[in-house]
Structure 1
């Protein structure tokens, strides 16, 4: 989610001479004043075309994840339950990805890092789905995107990375935004006010762990195909999703009569869309610097805001919006702060985009 592009190179005229004019050929016409050659855009170089396509691939993936909460709510409304739906979609996605990427499974190493990545992805998926199905979509998603805070802590723990002054300032900005959004006079403490919001917060922690461990796996096993780790992610989402469904939704499933076929088709369709969108995102992850990816991924919040307003008539108060802007700004600036760092090896951060 490749092909090369070859620019057509015209042979140059001999140096210092104009090409000879054939006998009887008309003299060269003077250019029309309002038609300047500078106004004609040159064709994009292959690298530029790759960058545009890679950026679009990230935006497509972010758009899919920004609206993914809605089909889960539809499935919950049909009686399937949010976590039952998440477990089923993850299981189908795991099967589809195994079939699609079976030729690349030989590169998978039996190492604890891949187990941890799968489990972290499962926590991420469970927190995101259950929170967005049962809570206010934007509040849950903004708490989910407190990623700079948790990434700084886990990068120190797992990678030994020291937090710079700029990084510390961004952590403070994100925490200030969360406090502004969560604080209420009645409670007096800026903490999540519902189980759904706690679920989004925990999902964001899992997302940060997934990011950090994916980076470490990319450093230790740089030759591992990103598509293999995508399979690991969906398997982890299934392993975590099944017990989470039993715990949060209960063992009984009562789909609304007449909706069984529709529910099965939606589960299959959503799983296929997630696998395809993840494959599309892989194209961008392997061709763009990490800082640009982190900025483009924030487009998910824009899509979530529009979709939750349109499909669920949810709105944010001015205080929630201001806090959300602080969180978004911290996420955006964290990409700019790391601009000088080298881009990760191809596929090193693939799972970060495949968690939900």
Structure 2
């Protein structure tokens, strides 16, 4: 997903250099992108076993929250009150619930590509929250991304090029919330420099858990929650998948932060786009989902907008948000 940076010196590498120092951080980000490109599948498996999308998201968020709480237990002292932290929790919670629900119920690639309209939302939110001026470069990327979305979504039968179902709307909402999450992380680095990155992730997963519980009434309600609890407590394979997924999400978060601390943000943005490749191949292989020529062309425009957002320099821009923090 789109990378906004990580609050460390861009391009910093460990002392001593060497092949490992150069390749390990990039491989860490590549691994994280691969995991996120495959994460939709175990959520679908859990749904088949009686654990609906919102319930499974809340469960994996709880596991990740506990895991990160143990890993970063010595960093809790860095937390301090600010409206930015609840904002991160809210934006991160919406991102994860909408992303998981959308990829579970919809066409994986269409949902993911709509999620990748992030450059559009980032430019708008950065103007609103950070006071960043919308440049000609930013406007061009917005036009490119929206043009790709329109090309992908438009058809003579359906009329206006807008998301065609609830899952696609969920992917769009997830992308907007993720963009807000990135902008808020940049604001935190400016206003709360002492809050450590691990605590940002912990607050985010706290929001994911809260959002899952709050959205449960809209995804089957208490009956869905009760069925999920029954499945997870009586079906060992379902419980094993849920625990493994939650731990994988948390471990991936830690691994990706290692990479983001050592790879320039622009380069990391391009590596993150590997998630789309993994999602395309996995959805074709595991779910027999394909895309037509028009959808592929529109998707390439969206990916190009995301890539250019990472390649082209942005003067006087604070690069501090960690995209890996906002993942499923």
The normalised TM-score by structure 1 is 0.84
| Aligned equivalent of 1:82, options 20, 34, 53 | 53
Aligned partners of 1:355, 1:312: CA distance in 2, in Å?
22
Q: Report how far residue 251 of structure 1 moved.
A: 1.5
Q: Report how far residue 91 of structure 1 moved.
A: 1.1
| Aligned equivalent of 2:174, options 199, 203, 218 | 203
Aligned partners of 2:83, 2:236: CA distance in 1, in Å?
39
| Aligned equivalent of 2:300, options 325, 331, 338 | 325
What is the correspondence of 1:164-313 to structure 2 with a 5 Å cutoff?
A: 164-253=135-224, 254=227, 260-313=235-288
Q: Secondary structure at the match of 1:75?
A: helix
Residues 80-120 of structure 1, C-alpha deviations (whole Å, 9 max, x = no match): 10111001111111111112211111101111101100110
Residues 215-269 of structure 1, C-alpha deviations (whole Å, 9 max, x = no match): 1101222232111111111101001111212212322133697962111111111
Cross-structure match for 1:21: none
Distance change in 2, residues 1:276/1:3 (3 Å): farther
Q: Secondary structure at the match of 1:252?
A: helix
The normalised TM-score by structure 2 is 0.91
Q: Report how far residue 351 of structure 1 moved.
A: 5.2
| Aligned equivalent of 2:90, options 109, 119, 122 | 119
Cross-structure match for 1:133: 104
Uncovered stretches (5+) of structure 1, i.e. residues with no partner: 7-44
Distance change in 2, residues 1:243/1:106 (3 Å): same
Contact 1:211 1:352 in 2 (8 A): no
Aligned partners of 1:341, 1:71: CA distance in 2, in Å?
41
Contact 1:84 1:249 in 2 (8 A): no
Which has the bigger relative contact order, CA under 8 A and spacing at least 6?
Answer: 2
Q: Does 1:338 align with 2:313?
A: yes
Aligned partners of 2:213, 2:273: CA distance in 1, in Å?
29
- Higher Cα radius of gyration: 1
Cross-structure match for 2:8: none
Q: Report how far residue 134 of structure 1 moved.
A: 0.2
Q: Does 1:110 align with 2:85?
A: no
Q: Which moved more, 1:48-57 or 1:99-108?
A: 48-57
Cross-structure match for 2:63: 92
Q: Report how far residue 329 of structure 1 moved.
A: 0.3
Aligned partners of 1:200, 1:355: CA distance in 2, in Å?
13
The structure whose residues are more often helix, as a share, is: 2
Aligned partners of 1:220, 1:289: CA distance in 2, in Å?
22
Residues 285-314 of structure 1, C-alpha deviations (whole Å, 9 max, x = no match): 212222112111111111100100010010
Contact 1:82 1:249 in 2 (8 A): no
Cross-structure match for 2:5: none
Aligned partners of 2:244, 2:324: CA distance in 1, in Å?
22
Aligned partners of 1:259, 1:184: CA distance in 2, in Å?
46
Aligned partners of 1:79, 1:159: CA distance in 2, in Å?
43
Aligned partners of 2:73, 2:184: CA distance in 1, in Å?
23
What is the correspondence of 1:148-159 to structure 2 with a 5 Å cutoff?
A: 148-159=119-130
Aligned partners of 2:171, 2:150: CA distance in 1, in Å?
15
Cross-structure match for 2:322: 350
Cross-structure match for 1:101: 72
